[in-house]
Structure 1
């Protein structure tokens, strides 16, 4: 693990010295990853859990070597907010924030489209069975 990431994790574990988002400190990547998978296991139906787990694993794998602290903080912040929504069951029927969609790159919009198609595909397969 890179030294900057270790320092980031140490600061996230100690909220009096570290980076915070609102009242809570950011979780280190490994703890957040585990929290996400646990939240999926507890709060999502099996079909959604499989898709969610695959997506979380792929995203964390893709961002493993990110060195830019701004990107890392943004990545961890968004996933932590997602975990809080899943654990609070406030995600159902919620729409994406238009401000966040406007800031997305073409690649991110493509990923979002692919995710939407995968969800729709799994939804139609469930009804056909």
Structure 2
């Protein structure tokens, strides 16, 4: 019995995507979409708005996709995101570094978008200079 729990807890991104195993661990699109939006309720207002808008636009953008392998990959990555969201409303959301294999799999367009996102995030969260030379964080 214990082996099955360990197997279920493993990330599907570590092993090759097996469609039958992945489908048993995934939520259908609509319940996954609802769970993602519910999980954002624990975030600060600005982060919640950003996350909700992003989830809605991504699901809308991929609504007409018919390739089963692509759909499984899409749903599995959103499931990984959902699993990494903090369950405690008082817990602070912390990101994690991308591993080297993720960078290798990205196209040049995706790398450009990631670079732009990095600079946009730095502008949002950079310290504000207050009168006395002290720094104050925006968060």
Normalising by structure 2, we get a TM-score of 0.64
* Cα distance per residue 1:1-57 (max 9 Å; x no partner): xxxxxxxxxxxxxxxxx83339x6211111111111111112x22221111111111
Residues 76-95 of structure 1: matches in 2 within 5 Å? 76-87=75-86, 92-95=94-97
Asked if residue 62 in structure 1 is aligned to residue 84 in structure 2, the reply is: no
Greater fraction helix: 1
The CA distance in 1 between the partners of 2:31 and 2:113, in whole Å, is: 25
1:100 counterpart residue number: 102
57-66 or 98-107, larger mean C-alpha shift = 98-107
Contact 1:39 1:86 (C-alpha < 8 Å) held by counterparts: yes
Structure 1 residue runs without a partner (length 5+): 1-17
Report the TM-score when normalising by structure 1: 0.69
Sort the Cα spacing of 1:110 and 1:63 in 2 relative to 1 into closer, same or farther, 3 A.
farther
From the CA coordinates, give the structure whose radius of gyration is larger: 2
In structure 2, C-alpha distance between the alignment counterparts of 1:115 and 1:50, rounded to whole Å: 16
Deviation at 1:62, TM superposition (A): 1.0
Kindly tell me the number of residue pairs found equivalent between the two proteins: 110
Q: Secondary structure at the match of 2:66?
A: coil
1:1-129 equivalences in 2 (<5 Å): 19-21=20-22, 25-42=25-42, 44-87=43-86, 92-124=94-126, 127=137
2:85 is paired with a residue whose SS is helix
Report the alpha carbon displacement of residue 93 of structure 1 after superposing the two structures with TM.
Answer: 4.1
Paired residue secondary structure (1:65): coil
